[in-house]
Amino acid sequence: MKYRLIEKTLTPVSITAAANSEWFDVGGQGCDSIAMVMVATAASSPNTATIQLVGSLDKSALVNVGSSVSVAANGTFSVSADRPVFRYYRLAYAIASGSYTSTLSVLAKGDKE
């Protein structure tokens, strides 16, 4: 049994008051599961940040997917969802003050080939 895998590293961003990652398109076939893994490094005296996986069918109507994750120090953090129903995904960031720099990788496992 083979599964379609999609893997991509997204453009690095700064986690600031209302930042978001770029959109990730899993394609018209959707996927069985998706995980976004972020590596955060403190850039400017950050408070605790929150990351949340967001899904959309059309990049305009947004739905939070799964639970949010707190980022309180340098490290690796992940958010994921099984059996998601959206075509597009991105990571939404929120922080009261300061900032983190981050890299973000995505892995999606698709339907059987």
15 pLDDT higher than 80: no
Rounded Cα–Cα distance for residues 92 and 74 (Å) = 18
Instruction: For 74-85, write each residue's pLDDT tens digit.
Output: 888 888 888 778
Q: Which residues pair with 51 in a beta bridge?
A: 69, 93
51, 91 in Cβ contact below 8 A? yes
Instruction: For 48-76, write each residue's pLDDT tens digit.
Output: 788 889 999 999 999 998 888 888 778 88
The CA radius of gyration of the chain, in Å to the nearest whole number, is 14
pLDDT value for 1: 47
SS3 12: strand
Instruction: Describe the chain by its helix, strand, coil percentages, rounded to 5.
Output: 0, 65, 35
- What residue ranges define each of the domains in the chain, with the CATH number in brackets? 3-108 (2.60.120.380)
pLDDT value for 112: 46
Amino acid, res. 89: Y
